[in-house]
Amino acid sequence: MKTIAIIEDDQSIGDLLEEVLEREGYLVKRAYSGTEALYLLSRQRPDLVLLDLMLPGLSGEQVLEKLSGVPAIVVSAKAGVDDKVRLLLEGAADYLTKPFEIQELLARIQVQLRKAPSPAAPLFQAGDLTLNTLSREVTVGKEPVHLTKTEYAILKLLLQNPTQAVAKSVILDRIAQDTPDCTESSLKQHVSNLRKKLRDAGGRETIQAVWGIGFKLVLDGEETSL
């Protein structure tokens, strides 16, 4: 999901934008002044910024300087060519004059986002479970779950083979580099801890035992009658 920061002091315009963007599936952050914008940007890096020029606090131009890589679409009532040219040369990715058609804005947002270097999101998902192999973060819904190295390795292996039964010997094999001394009896302990953490984070029971074999991930409320 892409994050878009709306930097706009006019409440009603901002509300409208937020509503439209969220309906399109974007995650929206807002700031109402230049200084607030800088604070917002310092805390997190959105994929795109919608920037109003006439801001209290810092001017839009000053905010623009601080973006360092995040594309910005300037949305302004200033229709003059000089303003457009200046902002575009100063780093704006695009410039739209108010009033504008919301459809055009959405299209131009897509243009900006599609050229972002989307580095093949290394994400594994199943149900409300998400595992990011880059940040090594695991979430249940929106809830982050802290896993140990071994638990992470187990869950990742299961997520790579959803709905398939994974033999205990295979699991031990694959996590051997992380946890060389793990035996079958400690494995069941890890699985138990893992299940508890997922449960505590609000997840359904997703790791199921396969009798005599190992474990598997169940996606839906499916039952595997023996």
Partner DNA sequence: CGAAATCTTTACCCTTTCTTTACAGTTTTC
Partner DNA sequence: GAAAACTGTAAAGAAAGGGTAAAGATTTCG
Residues that bind DNA (CB under 7 A): 146, 148-151, 168, 178-186, 188-192, 195-196, 208-214, 225-226
The least distance separating a copy of itself from the CB of residue 151, rounded to whole angstroms, comes to 11
Binding partner of residue 183 among a copy of itself, DNA, none, CB under 5 to 8 Å per kind? DNA
How buried is 6 (Cβ within 10 angstroms: 0-12 exposed, 13-18 middle, 19+ buried)? Answer: buried
The least distance separating a copy of itself from the CB of residue 67, rounded to whole angstroms, comes to 9
Judged by CB under 8 A, how many residues of this single chain contact a copy of itself? 59
Binding partner of residue 221 among a copy of itself, DNA, none, CB under 5 to 8 Å per kind? a copy of itself
Cβ distance 179 to 153 under 8 Å?
A: yes
How buried is 52 (Cβ within 10 angstroms: 0-12 exposed, 13-18 middle, 19+ buried)? Answer: buried
Cα separation of 9 and 32, whole Å? Answer: 4
Q: Measured from the CB atom, is 123 or 213 closer to DNA?
A: 213
Query: Is the N-terminal amide bond of 117 cis, ω within 30° of 0?
Result: no
175-214 mask for a copy of itself (x: CB under 8 A)?
---x-------------------------------xxxx-
Q: How many CB atoms lie within 10 A of CB 152?
A: 20
One-letter amino acid at 221 equals G
Q: How many CB atoms lie within 10 A of CB 213?
A: 13
The least distance separating DNA from the CB of residue 128, rounded to whole angstroms, comes to 19
DSSP secondary-structure letter at 104? H
Residue 125 near a copy of itself by CB under 8 A: yes
β-sheet bridge partners, residue 27: 3
E strand or H helix that includes residue 217: strand 214-217
Residue 144 near a copy of itself by CB under 8 A: yes
User: What does the longest C-alpha to C-alpha distance in the chain come to?
Assistant: 75
The least distance separating DNA from the CB of residue 165, rounded to whole angstroms, comes to 10
Q: Which residues bind a copy of itself (CB under 8 A)?
A: 42-45, 68-69, 81-82, 84-85, 88-89, 92-94, 101, 103-104, 106-108, 110-111, 115, 117-118, 121, 123, 125-128, 134-137, 144, 146, 148-149, 161-165, 178, 210-213, 216, 219-226
